Amino acid sequence: MPPEMLNSPILPRRRVRDLEVDLATIRIHRYDPTVDAEPWYQVIEGVPYQGLSVLDVLRHVFYHMDPSLSFWQMCGKGSCGACAMVVNGRPVLACSQPAGREMVIEPHFKFHVVKDLLVDFSRAATGFCSPGGVVQVLIDPARCIHCQDCVRLCPVGVYGVVKKRVAVLDQGSCLGTTCMHCAQSCWKSAITIISSA
């Protein structure tokens, strides 16, 4: 098999079994509110992961193993934030996060779960927003190196890039101190989030 096929998110099922590759075991959060009383985890073994993103792995599961799996798969380039989810307890963008040999994949905890990993980004989960609160997002230009990690990690699109520089584009969408993924991920400590009720 050509090496480029190993990096394909959609490997033919019969060929995956023929390959001598290291395969992943993943646990995926499943929940259909029309059927399930509680969320549960589906364990899937034998999933290709080397050289793939978490989103690629989910696509493989969807196309070859379980077409009932629900998740957002928009741009796939780390710019829309639609694939924000939690992998092994850490909020990430699935399209930018390299897949691992063992993964627990869950919906982003800040948002209302529609089904499985699919969340409603317009509805924050209970306890994450303060009605009437004011959020201020500050970027220290002396510290910011414009790596764009905050742009990729923000699930609600607060940040963007303007003339090759990170900028606050939608401060009103910020979830404030209940989120803090941007500030916590900034290894230069260039981001400050201030919330007031």
Mean pLDDT value of segment 1-13: 47
Gap between the Cα atoms of 141 and 120, Å rounded: 33
C-alpha 80 chain-centroid distance: 10
Residues 119 and 139 in one domain: no
Which domain, by its residues, includes 155? 134-196
Mean pLDDT value of segment 8-33: 71
Q: How confident is the model at residue 79 (pLDDT cuts 50, 70, 90)?
A: low
Q: Which residues sit opposite 86 in a β-bridge?
A: 91, 106
Of 124, 157, 187, which residue constitutes the final position of a domain?
124
CB atoms inside a 10 Å sphere around CB 46: 12
Residues 14 and 82 in one domain: yes
Of 62, 93, 124, which residue constitutes the final position of a domain?
124
Q: Per-residue pLDDT for 35 more than 90? A: yes
